[in-house]
Amino acid sequence: ADRALTDAGRALSRAEADRNIAEGKLESLRLAVVRHEEEAFGARNLVNDAAAILADLDDLDQAREEVEYVKMTVEAARMTIMSKRSAFD
């Protein structure tokens, strides 16, 4: 009877230890969930900000056309200056 009582006490101690370990793991996982939710919220905000910035950008093809037009204007002015300069020489 004493042996059975001792074995039952050990089993109870192991069960309590296992329960305490499981509770510790559960608490750790709850904290991890909270941390991941906060990170996900922050990432979601960054994605929304990036989408808003992207929507505000001008059309790239139009910007390229404008740059090409300015290049042609500058080149035309350069050629005009060179032709006037050669007329004075």
SS (H, E, C) 27-85: HHHHHHHHHHHHHHHHHHHHHHHHHHHHHHCCCHHHHHHHHHHHHHHHHHHHHHHHHHH
Most distant CA atoms of the chain, gap in Å: 125
- Looking at residue 88, its pLDDT comes to 80
Q: What pLDDT digit, counting tens, does each position of 37-70 carry?
A: 999 999 999 999 999 999 999 899 999 999 999 9
pTM equals 0.52
- CA 50 to chain centroid: 9
